């Protein structure tokens, strides 16, 4: 039986909706309790709530698979938005990165290269304020670490409002793109579109985007947009360009490129290089300083260069001792694990397209 057939034989809408609604209401309640749990009982209580919420989101995914109705999808989207609106006005609880985003946008609007000076530099004193500047992390010794596409995003949003709230709302707009693409991919695979609940109700994006305002939402939106161009329309090179923009918001998006690359084809690598060059061009007045704090201390401060910042590797070292090459092995294995979902998606989409890869679709056109 085809996936479409299984979807058509899904349980009636009335059987799935009550359980799905109950799970959504429970998740809204747990989301509302999050700030209180963290401030009153500390990190462990917050993590416990997040784990319970993640379990309920997984349960909701199973329930959503029982119905492909429009009302179920509407319920998922409305409650997912409500969960985000609950934490949107709350001061960022787990990270202060967003204050640097606002600062970088302000600095650029003043015509200053954000990679040139640390926020505490006396030359930037006129830009300081009592709301944003005191909350910037590493203000005394680190220039910005964020790549150029993230910087473009910061300056665009802060031209509307130099506020944390504005950036959070803009990043939730990126989430709307993510959800739309996921729904489209689910339908292309013949799966219930309600399975988007796995993202929409999961506590990780709720807290990391709507509350902490992390730029990862921009990266994922661009990455998924590029994947969609490649697999739905066969525009592999355009897709690679958009994914490259995502990587210039946060480098993890690069993991989506290998499954789309046809070995020994030179066009995709050249496009990636060209996109990176054009994005970095406005900031090259600082030379290699365009890599910011990433190049001047971040890896050492977070103990990434020695492997000390990786919990699993620390456990391994506790059990089996230190090895001279264990950091490199750990990073290689981590990249492989992260790459597997992208390869799996490419394989599944190819199978659904009758064995035609994105490259073959493009070539036929």
pLDDT per residue over 194-230, tens digit each? Answer: 999 999 999 999 999 999 999 999 999 999 999 999 9
Please say whether the beta carbons of 138 and 293 come within 8 A: yes
Whole-number percent of the chain with pLDDT over 70: 85
pLDDT at 304 (0 to 100): 73
- Structure tokens that stand for 114 in this block: 């954000």
pLDDT digits over 124-174, tens only? 999 999 999 999 999 999 999 999 999 999 999 999 999 999 999 999 999
Q: At 362, is the pLDDT very low, low, confident or very high (cuts 50, 70, 90)?
A: very low
Report the phi/psi class of residue 335: left, alpha or beta, with left for phi > 0 and alpha for psi in -120 to 50. alpha
In the predicted model, what is the mean pLDDT of residues 38-64?
Answer: 93
Please say whether the beta carbons of 350 and 344 come within 8 A: no
Please say whether the beta carbons of 272 and 257 come within 8 A: yes
Q: Which residues 6+ apart lie within 8 Å of 304 measured at CB?
A: 298, 310
Q: Which residues 6+ apart lie within 8 Å of 124 measured at CB?
A: 107, 112, 117
Length of the chain equals 365
Residue 149: phi and psi, rounded to 5, are -65, -40
In the predicted model, what is the mean pLDDT of residues 277-305?
Answer: 80
Residue 299 or residue 270, greater confidence? 270
Max avg pLDDT among 62-71, 106-115, 181-190, 291-300: 106-115
pLDDT at 11 (0 to 100): 47
In the predicted model, what is the mean pLDDT of residues 176-204?
Answer: 93
pLDDT digits over 68-100, tens only? 578 889 999 999 999 999 999 999 999 999 999
In the predicted model, what is the mean pLDDT of residues 299-309?
Answer: 72
Q: Where is average pLDDT lowest: 11-20, 110-119, 231-240?
A: 11-20
Residue 284 reports pLDDT greater than 50: yes
């Amino acid at each position: 039986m085809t996936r479409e057939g299984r979807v058509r034989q899904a349980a009636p809408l009335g059987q799935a909706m009550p359980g799905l609604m109950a799970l959504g209401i429970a998740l809204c309640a747990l989301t509302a309790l999050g700030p209180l749990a963290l401030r009153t009982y500390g990190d462990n209580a917050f993590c416990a709530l997040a784990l319970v919420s993640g379990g309920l989101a997984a349960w909701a995914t199973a329930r959503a698979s029982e119905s492909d109705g429009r009302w179920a999808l509407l319920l998922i989207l409305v409650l997912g938005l409500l969960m985000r609106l609950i934490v949107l006005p709350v001061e960022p609880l787990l990270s202060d990165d967003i204050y640097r985003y606002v600062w970088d946008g302000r600095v650029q609007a003043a015509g200053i290269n954000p990679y040139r000076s640390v926020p505490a530099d006396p030359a930037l004193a006129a830009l300081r304020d009592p709301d944003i500047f005191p909350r910037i992390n590493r203000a005394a010794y680190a220039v910005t670490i964020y790549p150029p596409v993230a910087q473009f995003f910061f300056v665009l949003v802060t031209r509307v409002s130099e506020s944390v709230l504005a950036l959070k709302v803009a990043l939730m707009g990126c989430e709307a793109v993510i959800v739309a693409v996921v729904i489209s991919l689910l339908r292309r695979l013949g799966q219930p579109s309600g399975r988007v609940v796995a993202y929409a109700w999961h506590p990780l994006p709720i807290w990391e985007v709507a509350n902490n305002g992390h730029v990862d939402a921009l990266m994922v939106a661009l990455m998924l947009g590029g994947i969609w161009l490649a697999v739905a329309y066969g525009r592999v090179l355009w897709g690679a360009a958009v994914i490259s923009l995502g990587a210039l918001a946060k480098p993890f998006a690069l993991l989506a490129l290998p499954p789309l690359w046809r070995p020994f084809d030179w066009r995709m690598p050249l496009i990636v290089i060209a996109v990176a060059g054009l994005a970095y061009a406005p900031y090259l007045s600082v030379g290699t300083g365009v890599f910011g704090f990433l190049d001047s201390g971040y890896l050492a401060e977070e103990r990434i260069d020695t492997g000390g910042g990786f919990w699993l590797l620390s456990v391994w070292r506790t059990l089996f001792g230190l090895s001279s090459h264990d950091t490199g092995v750990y990073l290689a294995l981590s990249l492989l694990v992260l790459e597997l979902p992208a390869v799996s998606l490419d394989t599944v989409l190819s199978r659904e397209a009758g064995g035609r890869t994105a490259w073959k679709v493009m070539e036929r056109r």
